Amino acid sequence: MPTPPPTARTLGDLRAAGISTRRLREEMRANLLARLRTGEKLFPGILGYDESVIPAVENALLCGHDLIFLGERGQAKSRLIRALVGLLDEWIPAVEGSEIADDPFAPVSAYARALVAERGDATPIVWIQREERYTEKLATPDVSIADLIGDVDPVKVARGATLADELTLHFGLLPRTHRGIFCINELPDLPEKVQVGLFNVLEERDFQVKGYRVRLPLDVLVVASANPEDYTSRGRIITPLKDRYAAQIRTHYPATRELELAIVLQEVELPAADGISVHVPRFMQEIVAEITLQARKSPDVSQSSGVSVRTSIANYETLVANALRRAIRLREGEAVPRISDLPALEPSTLGKLELEYAGKERPESELVTELWRRAVKVVFDEHVPLEGMAGVIESFRQGWKVEVAADIAAGEYLEGLDEIPGLRDGAARLAGGEEPARVASAIEFLLEGLHLSNHLNKTVREGRTLFARA
């Protein structure tokens, strides 16, 4: 729980209590150094960046640099930026009534300067919590200078203020984030003339509104995110603005399947039903993660757009949902995903992929099927030595056939299983036990893997899959 704000209510109270303020970058630098000394994580819950992205962010913050995160979709750019709020002090004092959270010790707006000059130590203050010091704006083509910087307020002019008076201004998002962190997501989508308006904010730390000379020294950290390919597609970051970002940090996708899966297991929100437990075998978990890795290598998928980790998360949740529906219909006590559940991932996969022109020449469903088959083959080769399947292969050569389907009860898989040497033992080892639903999942995995290894034929008809000798 957050701690309550200090009790000081005036500038004089602050002085009496020995409370002082710091510039934003000094504040963030000091809090970062404190975390580094204690070993506390800067970005809790963000995996895979410990040796690449996070050190670059720490260096930038120690230098007081504005940052831009470059990376494809689904690389935790927004989460990284929002986590920077944790480096702000929990509470800071501000001049009461100020639109831009003026520092009572160093006011910059005309309103706050006049109030402090008039009231002195009696100047009233308010306390601002760290979450209120973060502003985020999604860049879209309709964003204007007035939105970000400000504009003349006709209502204030009508009340008698002169156009040359700073008090006629309506402050935009950037001035209102004074002493805080301002984030622009998808920066290339910002119109170029608006990007020009950010020059002074990033370099001289002030801004101008229309033809009026207003010097308002802003104390703000400006952070942005962008997809590198956007420079040549939807829009671009103009060179002078790009140059003003002192730190450009490249994000990336998880380097390994294990890391991809660790992120998935951390983020998934699984469906549940009373009376039914859920178990996802390790090989099925790895298949879900491997599908995404295969998509990131597929020539039919646009790699410039990227394939988000959200693909793996959505597929994992969908896989469990399909298994849960089966368990409910068949009145089974445990829901365990199988290979025959993988076709259900088509809706959760296609929405995450942007196809290249070559990929659009064939049905999208065919591409998804190809991805999960590649994933099954990769995971099968890692988990199942073919020499251990010799007895199973021989049984099929002698005429054995096995039919599987997503709607077959787990118990039916076990009928006659002992007639095929090695199949029960291999399935039990993969399943980690003799529970029918888990063994059924392992059997499907073994049969599909043997088919993809060209040891079994596979015939699909009306939702049923028949495995027979090759």
> Looking up tokens 């009860």, which residue turns up?
409
> Residue 4 domain-assigned?
no
Low-confidence ranges of the chain (pLDDT < 70): 1-2, 152-168, 206-214, 229-235, 357-361, 416
Same domain, 164 and 293: no
Same domain, 231 and 278: no
Predicted confidence at residue 233, as pLDDT, reads 46
Nearest to residue 205, comparing CAs of 213, 216, 214? Answer: 216
Tokens, residue 461: 């008809």
Together in a domain, 100 and 131:
yes
419, 453 contact by CB (below 8 A): no
What 3-state DSSP class applies to 96?
Answer: coil
Domain for residue 1, yes or no? no
- Per the listing, tokens 């033992």 go with 425
305: tokens are 């757009």
Degrees, nearest 5: CA angle 255-259-262: 160
Those residues with Cβ within 8 angstroms of residue 74's Cβ, 6 or more apart along the chain or in another chain? 253, 306, 307, 308, 309, 310, 311
β-strands 169-171, 150-152 pairing: antiparallel
Cβ pair 265, 289 in contact under 8 A? no
Considering the domain architecture, whether residues 301 and 401 belong to the same structural domain is answered as yes
Indicate if 267 and 186 belong to the same structural domain.
Answer: no
Q: Is 65 exposed, middle or buried (0-12, 13-18, 19+ CB in 10 A)?
A: middle
Can you give the residue range of the structural domain that contains 186?
Answer: 11-250
Query: Considering the domain boundaries, does residue 357 fall inside one?
Result: yes
Count of CB atoms situated within 10 Å of the CB of 98 = 21
CA distance 279 to 260: 19
Q: Clarify whether residues 207 and 272 are in a common domain.
A: no
DSSP conformation class of 52:
T
Please, which residues bridge with residue 335 across strands? 278
In this structure, are residues 470 and 456 in contact, taking their beta carbons and an 8 Å threshold? yes
- Examine the domain organization and report whether 327 and 216 are in the same domain: no
The domain boundary residue, chosen from 250, 277, 301: 250
Question: Is residue 5 assigned to a domain?
Answer: no
Is 321 in contact with 269 (CB distance < 8 Å)?
no
Prediction pTM value: 0.87
Q: Do residues 11 and 98 touch, judged by C-beta distance below 8 A?
A: no
The number of domains in the chain is: 2
Report the pLDDT value the prediction gives residue 157, as an integer from 0 to 100: 56
pLDDT score recorded for residue 235: 64
Q: What burial class does residue 63 get, using C-beta atoms within 10 Å of its C-beta: 0-12 exposed, 13-18 middle, 19+ buried?
A: exposed
CA atoms within 13 A on the CB side of 316: 29
Do residues 140 and 277 both lie within one domain?
Answer: no
- Tell me which H or E stretch contains 203: helix 199-203
CATH of the domain at 34: 3.40.50.300
- Which pLDDT value is given to residue 2? 64
Domain boundary among 201, 219, 250: 250
Q: Do 108 and 168 fall into the same domain?
A: yes
Do 166 and 283 share a domain, yes or no? no
Report phi then psi at 99, rounded to 5: -75, -15
> Is residue 377 included in any domain, yes or no?
yes
Q: Considering 250, 271, 293, which residue would you say is the last residue of a domain? A: 250
Q: Are 21 and 106 in contact (CB under 8 A)?
A: yes
CB 135 within 8 A of CB 173: yes
Residue 370 placed within a domain: yes
pLDDT the model gives residue 64? 94
Decide if 155 is inside a domain.
Answer: yes
Q: Is residue 292 part of a domain?
A: yes
